[in-house]
Each structure stands twice: as C-alpha cells, then as structure tokens.
Amino acid sequence: MLSTATGVPVTTDTLFQIGSITKPWTATMIMQLIDEGNLSLDTTIAQVLPGLRRLGVAGTAEQVTVRHLLTHTSGLDGDVFTDTGRGGDCVERYVDLLADAAQIFPVGAAYSYCNSGYVLLGRIIEVLDDREWDASLRKRLIEPLGLTHTVTLPEEAILHRAAVGHQARPHDEQPVPAWGLARSVGPAGLITASAADVLAFARMHLADGLADDGTRVLSAAAAISMRQPLVKIPGIATGVTEVGLSWRLADWDGRRVYGHDGSAIGQNAFLRRRRLGRWPRPGMRPSRRSSTCIRPTLPVTTSYAGPLTTSRGRRSRSAGSMTGRHTASSAG
C-alpha cells in the first residue's frame, strides 16, 4: 500500500523515492555534456566552476576532477545534507558552503561514498546548461525517454499516486513524519519515479544509450564506459566489488551485474541489471536480451508487468543512511 495510514493500494503507476539511484541519472547528464564537448573526465572543479570560493582545504578544487566525483574518490566529506532552501539557487548555495567541507583523505587516494560530490556534479550541469538541475533532468532524460511518472519535487509527486516512507522496525507500520530530503541535495538523491520509468532508464543503458523508440540519448561509448570497473570498493552491498562512472559492479553467482541502491526517508530502492547478449540491430528494445530487477521498499506489496520483483526492503533511519556510512578503501 502507499501508506499504512490510508490503506491505499500500490498500482503499476505508483511513484517511489529512489534515493541514490538518482546518482546514475546525474552521471548520465554529465556524460552527455562530455559527448557534447563541453566537459571531460579530467576537467577540474576549478576549471568548470571558476566562481567557487574554495572546496574543502586549499587547493582541492584545482585537484578534484569530474572523474573523482563520479567514482567517489574526491576525498571530500560525503555526509553533508545542508538544507539551503527551496529556491532555484539551492544547489549553488549548497556548493558554496562546501568551502568548509572536511577533506577525509587526499584526492584520489581512496573510495568513500560521497553525496556532496554528486551535488557538485549537479551544479556543473546547472552552470553548463544555464538552468536548474531539475530542468536539465527533464530536458536531457525525462522527455527524451518518454517518461511520464518521474519527478523531483513534492508538489509534483502529489499529482501522482505516490508512496510515503515508513518507520524502521519494530514500528514499520507507521509512516514517517517527513516527505523527503532537502532539494539542495537533489542531484544526489531526489528523484521520485515509478518502477516502469526507472526500468526505461535502465533499458537505455542496457541498449548502450538508445531509448526504447531508438532515440540516441547517450553515445554508446559513454554508456559502455560508465559500467567499466574503475575503483575497488569495500563491501557496501551484497556482492558489490567495484565502481565505474557511478554504476556499482557486482558479482551474482559468477554473473557480472551493475546497478545502484538508493535510500531516502523511510524508503529504499534496489536496481540491478545484466547484459545477456548483443542486439542484432540499432534501436531494438533490450528487454528480451537483458535482465533487470528493481525492488522498492515496503510496506508496498504488488506485482508489476515485466522484469520486476518486489520484496521487503530495509528502511532508512535518517537522511544520513542514504550514504551507507562509508568505510574508505584504497583507490589504487
């Protein structure tokens, strides 16, 4: 059900907060900007955000690159959830406050899950596109993919059949008192979407950048590069061993899969997919040659058409839980 308080059932068009599964969406837009020649993986923060006062300790902005941010190896404190308001400048204001962020290890020295790094990526998108991150998300991904049940703001979500979060056990029959995370951390975890829309995004990546209708959303080279293993990471989730350009790579009984997990306030999501072969012609839908699993949090219980399963998920205790609490590992 959408909420234990109302008893309204979940349907196939229900929206869930997907938390950090937002990160691959932000990363995809960064890769589009690279495709367009506006950026590179080796562009530094100082180069693309010249107005930034400082980033953590002195000299960090001149060292941290787009690649570091995508792979969680910037060394910046990732557990920064500063609420800078609901205005269109909230991401910019959040990034300005990163001047005081802690540097927990030298740039590039280790992996540590970093929400603040993805907000920085969102700010890069805003500057290069000259519009808010939410607007770029609509123009670059939601509209080209033909998505009709993907939003970022609560006033948009209430126009749909939206699920609310629930407390952790043993109080899991009680809805949480808050809707979601602050808008300022949007690029790291604010998307609310139906399972079908998340699967459409996943199919685009499985098809190396092609939407279901054959529209080229991302270059094949960029899509493939996003799922290549770049940095070994600690066991933050079952079977996860490495990270690519946002995608986490895992081993399932000897089978290579990639995906991401996400947590918001009282909601969790889980996405994994695997290429089973190559498609014989461009534009062919990948659903017959791929395997995709997405699991939203409960107490919602329902079945969906297509390659989707649902089961009981763990619940978030706080905004900080979307980070997974980060043991660092060597990036070598």
Residue 119, amino acid: V
Domain assignment of residue 207, yes or no: yes
Per the DSSP assignment, residues forming a β-bridge with 184 are none
pLDDT at 328: 41
Residue 6: pLDDT band by 50, 70, 90 thresholds?
confident
Are 166 and 306 contained in the same domain?
yes
Mean pLDDT, residues 98-112 taken together: 93
Residue 322, amino acid: M
Q: Which of 65-79, 196-210, 296-310 has the lowest mean pLDDT?
A: 296-310
Are 123 and 163 contained in the same domain?
no
Residue 245: pLDDT band by 50, 70, 90 thresholds?
very high
pLDDT at 237: 59
Shortest CA distance to 229 belongs to which of 250, 202, 203?
250
CA dihedral angle for residue 72, residue 74, residue 53, residue 127, rounded to 10 degrees: -40
- Domain tally for the chain? 2
Domain assignment of residue 9, yes or no: no
Are 231 and 303 contained in the same domain?
yes
Domain assignment of residue 331, yes or no: no
Give the residue carrying structure tokens 């959830």: 81
Select from 111, 134, 157 the last residue of a domain.
134
Q: Domain range for residue 93? A: 29-134
Are 199 and 86 contained in the same domain?
no
Sign of the CA dihedral running 27, 33, 39, 41: positive
Domain assignment of residue 265, yes or no: yes
Domain assignment of residue 8, yes or no: no
**Could you confirm whether 303 is annotated as catalytic?**
no
Are 35 and 110 contained in the same domain?
yes
Rounded to whole angstroms, the Cα distance separating 329 from 239 reads 16
Are 102 and 190 contained in the same domain?
no
pLDDT digits (tens, 9 = 90+) for 270-318: 898 876 544 333 333 333 344 455 554 333 222 222 222 222 232 233 3
Rounded to whole angstroms, the Cα distance separating 326 from 312 reads 24
Are 71 and 169 contained in the same domain?
no
Q: Which of 71-75, 200-204, 229-233, 304-308 has the lowest mean pLDDT?
A: 304-308
Select from 77, 99, 134 the last residue of a domain.
134
Are 172 and 318 contained in the same domain?
yes
pLDDT at 324 over 80: no
Residue with more model confidence, 251 or 43:
43
Peptide bond into 170 cis (omega under 30): yes
pLDDT digits (tens, 9 = 90+) for 16-32: 999 999 999 999 999 99
203 Ramachandran zone, left/alpha/beta (phi>0; psi -120 to 50): alpha
Distances from the Cα of 219 to the Cα of 15, 33, 246, angstroms: 29, 11, 16
Which uninterrupted H or E stretch holds 69?
helix 66-70
Are 102 and 204 contained in the same domain?
no
Structure token digits, residue 16: 């869930």
Are 182 and 321 contained in the same domain?
yes
Rounded to whole angstroms, the Cα distance separating 329 from 7 reads 44
pLDDT at 320: 37
Q: What is the pTM of this model?
A: 0.84
pLDDT at 169 over 80: no
Are 218 and 189 contained in the same domain?
yes
Contact 52, 95 (CB under 8 A): yes
Check 3, 20, 136, 303 and give the catalytic one.
20
Select from 84, 100, 134 the last residue of a domain.
134
Shortest CA distance to 31 belongs to which of 148, 140, 114?
140
Mean pLDDT, residues 107-132 taken together: 96
Q: Which of 42-51, 165-174, 310-319 has the lowest mean pLDDT?
A: 310-319
Are 125 and 185 contained in the same domain?
no
